[in-house]
Amino acid sequence: MSRIYLSPPHLSGLEKEFLQEALDSNWIAPLGPQVDSFEEEMVEYLGVKAAVALSSGTAALHLALRISGVNSGDIVLCPSLTFSSSANVILYEKAIPVFIDADPKTWNINCVSLERAIIACKERGKLPKVLITVDIYGQSADYDKILEICNKYNIAVIEDAAEALGSEYKGAKCGTFGKAGIFSFNGNKIVTTSGGGMLVSNDEKFVEQARFLSSQAREPEIHYEHKELGYNYRMSNLLAAVGRGQLAVLDEKVKSKQEIFSRYKLALGDIEGLEFMPMASYGISNCWLTTLVINEDIAGFNRDSVIIALEKENIESRPIWKPMHLQPLYKEFDYYVSDEGDISQMLFNNGICLPSGTNLSIDDQEKIIDIILSINH
């Protein structure tokens, strides 16, 4: 019985063509024509002015903070409900993370708690320098509200759209808001290069600085000259070839994931005590992962019982992200909870991610649905 994974890579078939081009040209190295083309195609797809392909989404986020002028002791705001990379890069620069709870209506950053955190920082004598937003599980944060708040206090916004390639906010693609946006091409993402990332921006100088720093900050001399600290963060030509083959069918992948979400919701949405991630009216989610919360008191079963039942059938599922304020590494840092209570913790305690890969067959999805229905009965 083959394993059903949460979100495995799904090749389009075009990757071979671009990889063969790379092999035939002997560009088996970081950078090269495939990297250039991948960046250009991302620029065209997103409608931004510039992009730089990198070794990971984490690398992209790190460079975005560095170029935004984050230094030791600076305050950086970040949602608590996110993958650890969103917060780890703050510590890379020896800055201080301040975590913000989720909005129960979108699961993204709570704007009321966000402004409360900013005011508290201001009263202590130091405003945050940057806000990292996260488009959680493919759903856009509310950027009109976020940018209004951050512009009021002169706080730069970096959009972590690692999970949201192909998603939209009010007609614009995710990753295009704030000073810069970042994407991940990790193996479980909607577009994968096995490992990789991209930094994009409408500020071409910002991207050029990222390009410079990601190439070990080598000065334009005939010899190797370095005046500042750089990083080995550039993407290989081979991986970019894989990314091009994935990007060419991105819209089809988004449609497939949306259909998977719809089938789950149609089959399970009437079960009392189950609540799927709400879809915000202001945007279009790529439905990277189908996620839901289970209220044990109402449903009569809990999240863990579903994970165990699926695992017995060799099916991978996973709890929703464990919030940063609950992680041992970050427990000493400030956290601003929602008026409705600790939404991030509630989502973690009760939330589950279901298999959502674009190669998930209808038969396999029906098997997953039947297992959950059998627990309910």
CATH number for the domain spanning 347: value is 3.90.1150.10
Q: Provide the domain limits for residue 186.
A: 15-247
pLDDT for res 193: 94
Instruction: Tell me which residue has tokens 């992200």.
Output: 321
Asked whether residue 255 falls in the same domain as residue 335, the answer is: yes
Asked whether residue 263 falls in the same domain as residue 234, the answer is: no
Asked whether residue 232 falls in the same domain as residue 338, the answer is: no
CA atoms of 86 and 81, how far apart (whole Å): 10
Which residue type does 301 have?
F
- Residue ranges of alpha helices (H) inside the chain are 15-25, 33-46, 57-67, 85-92, 111-123, 143-152, 204-213, 237-247, 250-268, 296-299, 303-312, 343-350, 362-376
Asked whether residue 227 falls in the same domain as residue 263, the answer is: no
Orientation angle between helical segments 250-268 and 362-376, nearest 10 degrees: 30
pLDDT for res 1: 67
Dihedral of CA atoms 88, 186, 369, 286 in degrees, nearest 10, equals 90
Average pLDDT over every residue of 16-41: 93
Which residue type does 132 have?
I
pLDDT for res 31: 85
Asked whether residue 164 falls in the same domain as residue 190, the answer is: yes
Asked whether residue 104 falls in the same domain as residue 216, the answer is: yes
CA atoms of 225 and 212, how far apart (whole Å): 12
Asked whether residue 228 falls in the same domain as residue 278, the answer is: no
User: Is 46 part of a structural domain of the chain?
Assistant: yes
- Here the tokens at position 202 are 């409408």
Q: What is the pTM of this model?
A: 0.96
User: Is 343 part of a structural domain of the chain?
Assistant: yes
Asked whether residue 255 falls in the same domain as residue 221, the answer is: no
For 184: left if phi > 0, alpha if psi spans -120 to 50, otherwise beta; the answer is beta
pLDDT for res 285: 98
Asked whether residue 68 falls in the same domain as residue 203, the answer is: yes
Domain stop point among 247, 271, 305:
247
Whether the pLDDT of residue 322 is over 90: the answer is yes
pLDDT in tens, 333-374: 999 999 999 999 999 999 999 999 999 999 999 999 999 999
- Residue ranges of alpha helices (H) inside 47-98 are 57-67, 85-92
For residue 69, what is the domain's CATH number? 3.40.640.10
Domain stop point among 193, 227, 247:
247
3-state SS, residue 51 = strand
pLDDT for res 217: 84
pLDDT in tens, 68-89: 999 999 999 999 999 999 999 9
Average pLDDT across the chain, whole number: 96
Residue 159 pairs with which residues in a beta bridge? 133, 181
Asked whether residue 232 falls in the same domain as residue 138, the answer is: yes
Asked whether residue 113 falls in the same domain as residue 128, the answer is: yes
User: Is 8 part of a structural domain of the chain?
Assistant: no
User: Is 94 part of a structural domain of the chain?
Assistant: yes
What is the domain count for the chain?
2
Average pLDDT over every residue of 8-14: 93
First to last CA, the chain: 25
